[in-house]
Amino acid sequence: MKLRIIAFGAHPDDCELKAGGVAAKWAAQDHKVKFVATTNGDVGHFSIAGGPLALRRKAEVQSCAGILGIETQVLDIHDGELMPTIENRRTIARLIREWQADIVLCHRPCDYHPDHRYTGMLVQDAAVLVAARFFVTDTPPCKKNPVILYYSDEFKKPYPFDPAIIVSVDEVIDKKRACIDAIPSQFADRDSWMGRYLPGVPEDDDGRKKFIHDWLIGMDAEVADRYRNLLVQRYGEEQGRKISYAEAFELCQYGSQPSAAELSQLFPM
């Protein structure tokens, strides 16, 4: 069975960071993956903004899609201004329906960034409507109810991230590294988002690039360490202990509710 996966991230880099590894693995098995940024990222830099930044960021995620072997789309909604409106609910429902998704990925709706929160809410709000025949009648409903999963995060309130499935990304970490290198507006420029936002970033170009790169890849190492028991459960004692990098996903209570065995089949890597 060929799977169809659609992942929503608020900005043109979120899907790449949170699900770039698993996407590369699905794509390598010929499953169809699409990343959607729900905003154009046009305020995510400290010296450029607006149309030029939106175009630059779109080109960056297009490069990443080439690296990962997937499709990508950026919605033309201003960064920092995404709202859970009816219009946006229709847009998200249409995208899931058009893709006939088996799996939908998104942020949890408790997150520091309003665009992340509302991306999660919009996907949740679309969960039931992707099957509703008379909602967005220009786009046929999903034939089966997709499984919705959340990306990992560090937020503790109202409850900490609770993974249902974990995937080793060791085998594709070079592709993930290449994606980070393909997004200099966020991770390499002197005035890049992380270049200014992250504490302790070195001043020189090479130092800054390496520091941010290591910090981002370190997040996948943290996921592997924090949920080591799940890696051991999934991959066995010997392999599970050796895995360095992982991505993990929490099951949303809306959408289809797979058993553990069914969930494993949706991540056949």
Please report how close the Cβ of residue 130 comes to Zn ion at its closest, in angstroms: 23
Nearest to 62 by CA among 53, 71, 54: 71
Q: How many residues of this chain bind Zn ion (CB under 5 A)?
A: 3
In terms of DSSP H, where are the helices of the chain? 14-28, 50-68, 86-99, 114-126, 173-181, 184-187, 193-197, 205-226, 228-235, 237-242, 260-266
Helices 14-28 and 50-68, interaxial angle, to 10°? 20
Q: How many CB atoms lie within 10 A of CB 55?
A: 13
- Residue 38 vs 168, nearer CB to Zn ion: 38
Instruction: Say whether residue 125 binds Zn ion (CB under 5 A).
Output: no
Binding mask 13-32 for Zn ion (x = CB under 5 A): -x------------------
Closest chain position to Zn ion (CB): 11
Of 7-15, 91-99, 192-200, 223-231, the window that binds Zn ion (rule: CB under 5 A) is: 7-15
Q: Work out which of 5, 6, 8, 11 binds Zn ion, going by CB under 5 A.
A: 11
Of 6-14, 31-39, 82-90, 163-171, the window that binds Zn ion (rule: CB under 5 A) is: 6-14
Please report how close the Cβ of residue 6 comes to Zn ion at its closest, in angstroms: 17
Radius of gyration of the chain (CA): 18
∠ CA 183-187-193, rounded to 5°: 110
Instruction: Say whether residue 10 binds Zn ion (CB under 5 A).
Output: yes
Chain residues binding Zn ion by CB under 5 A are: 10-11, 14
